[in-house]
A = this chain, B = another copy of it.
Amino acid sequence: MKWSKNYIYTLKEAPTDAEIPSHKLMIRAGFMKKLAPGLYTYGNLALRAIRKFEAIIRDELNKRGCTEILMPMVHPRELWEETNRWKEMGAGLLKFQNRNEHWFCLGATHEEAVTDYIRNDLKSYKDLPKNLYQIQTKYRDEIRPRFGLMRGREFSMKDAYSFDINQEGALKSYDLMYDAYRSIFDRLGLNYRIVKADAGNIGGSQTHEFQLLADAGEDALLVSDTTEFAANIEVCPAIDATPHVSNEAEKPMEKFATPGQKTIADLSKFTGQSENELVKTLFYSANEGMDPKDKSLKAFAVLLRGSDEVNPVKVKNLLGLSNPPTMLTDQEVLEVSGSLPGSCGPVGLKIPVYMDNGVAGLKNYIVGANAEGFHLKNVNHGREYQPTKTADLRMARAGDKCPDSSGKLVAYRGIEVGHVFYLGKKYSEKMKATFLDQNGKAQNFEMGCYGIGVTRTVQAAIEQSHDADGIIWPRAIAPYQVHICALDPKDSAVMSLAESLERELESQCVDVLIDDRDERPGVKFKDADLLGFPVRIVIGKKGLDAGEVEVVERKTKQVVKLKPAEVHGQVMKFLEPGS
Contact = CB atoms under 8 A, between A and B. Distances in A.
A287 interface: no
Contact of A76 (B39, B74, B100): B39
B35 A71 contact: yes
Of the four ranges (under 10, 10 to 19, 20 to 34, 35 or more), the interface on chain A belongs to 35 or more
For this chain, the copies found in one complex come to 2
A557 to B, nearest CB: 29
Interface string A53-75: 00000000000010111111111
Interface string A64-102: 010111111111101100000000000110101111100
A91 B100 CA distance: 10
Contact of A79 (B33, B35, B74): B35
Nearest to A5: B65
Interface stretch (A135-143, A226-234, A314-322): A135-143
Contacts of A39: 72, 74-76
A132 interface: yes
A352 interface: no
A255 B323 CA distance: 88
Contacts of A98: 94, 141
B35 A130 contact: no
A528 to B, nearest CB: 19
B154 A74 contact: yes
A567 to B, nearest CB: 26
Contacts of A113: 35, 41
Nearest to A36: B76
A69 B117 CA distance: 31
User: Binding site of A, secondary structure by majority: helix, strand, loop or mixed?
Assistant: mixed
A40 B72 contact: yes
Contacts of A106: 74
A7 B72 contact: no
Contacts of A41: 69-72, 113, 117
A87 B44 CA distance: 32
Contacts of A132: 7
A42 interface: yes
Nearest to A99: B91
Given A9-B121, A67-B6, A143 B42 contact: no
A436 interface: no
Given A7-B130, A69-B41, A153 B74 contact: yes
A517 to B, nearest CB: 10
A400 interface: no
Contacts of A467: none
Interface of A: 5-7, 9, 30, 33, 35-36, 39-44, 47, 50, 65, 67-76, 78-79, 91-92, 94, 96-100, 104, 106, 113, 116-117, 121, 130, 132, 137, 139, 141, 143, 153-154
Given A40-B72, A73-B73, 18 more contacts: A7-B67, A9-B121, A35-B71, A35-B72, A36-B78, A36-B79, A39-B74, A41-B69, A41-B71, A41-B117, A43-B69, A44-B67, A44-B69, A50-B70, A73-B137, A73-B154, A74-B154, A94-B98
